[in-house]
Amino acid sequence: MTEFWHDLTNPEYVYGHLTYILSTIAVAMRSMRWLRTFLIASGCVGIFYYGFVIGDRVSTIWEFVFTAVNIVQLAIILFVARLSAVDEHERFFIQQVTPSLDESQRRKLMKIARWHTGMPGEVLMAEGQESPNLIFLTRGAASIERGGTLIGVCGAGDFLGEMSFLTGKPASATVRVANEVRCCVFDPGVLRALLDRNPDILQTLENSFNRNLVGKLERMNEATQTTGASSGSTQSFA
C-alpha cells in the first residue's frame, strides 16, 4: 500500500496520471465535441510524458496516432456543424416546409436553394413567364397582379409559382415586391431532377403546397367576406 501511494504521489508520474484524468473526463462528456477535445488533450500530455519523461518511443507513437485520429474526428464534427448551421430564414423554411424530412434529405434540398433579398418594386415573377422559379417567402410581402390589376398579397410562409411548377404552365400573375422580402428560390429544372431521385422530398413539398393552397383559399374567403364581394380572387395562385 505504501508503494502504491508513493507511485500515486510521485511527481515523476504526474503527467501519466494527467493522461488518465483527462481520458476519464472525456468519457464523462455528453457532447462529442468536448469528448474529442479532452481526448486530444490527453493524447498531447501522453506524447510529452512517454516521449520526453519516460523515453518510450513505442508508446509515444501510439499516443501520436491516438491524438491524430481524434483531431481528424473533431475537425469532421466542426465541419458538419458549420454546414448544418442555419439562420432564422432557413429555420423558418425548415419548420414550415420540411419538418418531416431527415437531415440528409433536408441538406439535399437546401443545397440547390438560392437565397435572395428582394427590394420594393422588384418583379420576382412575370405574368406569362415560362418555367418561373419556385419561391418561398420567409419575410416581407409581395403584391400579386394580373393584367395590371392588383388581385392579392402574399407574405412570409407563402409559396409563389407552385402551380406553374406542378402543371408546367406559365405564371398566371406578376409577383412584385411590396416591401423588402427574403425568399428561398429554386430553379424548377434543378428541383425536378432532385425530386425524381428523392420521392420523399417530392411528397413533402406536395404536402406543403397543399397546406399553402388551403391557407390562400381561407384568406381569399376572409377577404371576400370583409369587402362584401360576391366574386373575384384576392389571392394569387401564380
Residue type, 51: G
Task: Give the pLDDT confidence of 9-65 residue by residue, as tens digits.
Answer: 566 678 888 999 999 999 999 889 999 999 999 999 999 999 998 899 999 999 999
Q: What does pTM read for this prediction?
A: 0.61
At residue 13, the pLDDT reads: 73
At residue 15, the pLDDT reads: 83
At residue 4, the pLDDT reads: 52
Q: 230: pLDDT confidence band, cut at 50, 70 and 90?
A: very low
Q: What is the mean pLDDT of residues 139-160?
A: 92
Q: Is the pLDDT of residue 118 over 90?
A: yes
What b/e sequence results for 10-48 when a residue is b if at least 16 CB atoms lie within 10 Å of its CB, and e otherwise?
Answer: eeeeebbebbeebbebbeeeeeeeebbbbbbbbbbbbbb
At residue 14, the pLDDT reads: 82
Nearest to 64, CA basis, from 82, 90, 39, 43: 43
Query: Which of 80-94, 141-155, 160-174, 191-205 comes out lowest in average pLDDT?
Result: 80-94
- Share of residues in the chain with pLDDT > 90 (%): 66
At residue 152, the pLDDT reads: 86
Count of residues in the chain: 238
Long-range contacts of 100-103 (CB under 8 A, 24+ apart): 100/204, 101/200, 101/201, 101/204
Task: Give the pLDDT confidence of 122-132 residue by residue, as tens digits.
Answer: 999 999 999 99
Give the C-alpha distances (Å, rounded to integers) separating 71 from 33, 36, 37, 46, 76.
10, 7, 8, 15, 9
Q: 236: pLDDT confidence band, cut at 50, 70 and 90?
A: very low
61/202 Cα distance (integer angstroms): 51
- Share of residues in the chain with pLDDT > 70 (%): 84
135 forms bridges with which residues in the sheet?
Answer: 160, 185
134 forms bridges with which residues in the sheet?
Answer: 186
96/211 Cα distance (integer angstroms): 10
- Asked if residue 121 lies in contact with residue 164, where contact means CB atoms within 8 angstroms, the answer is no
- Looking up cell 488518465 gives 20
Q: What is the mean pLDDT of residues 129-144?
A: 95
Task: Give the pLDDT confidence of 60-110 residue by residue, as tens digits.
Answer: 999 999 999 999 999 998 887 776 666 889 889 989 999 888 888 988 999
231/224 Cα distance (integer angstroms): 8
The mean of the pLDDT values for the chain is 87
154/42 Cα distance (integer angstroms): 57
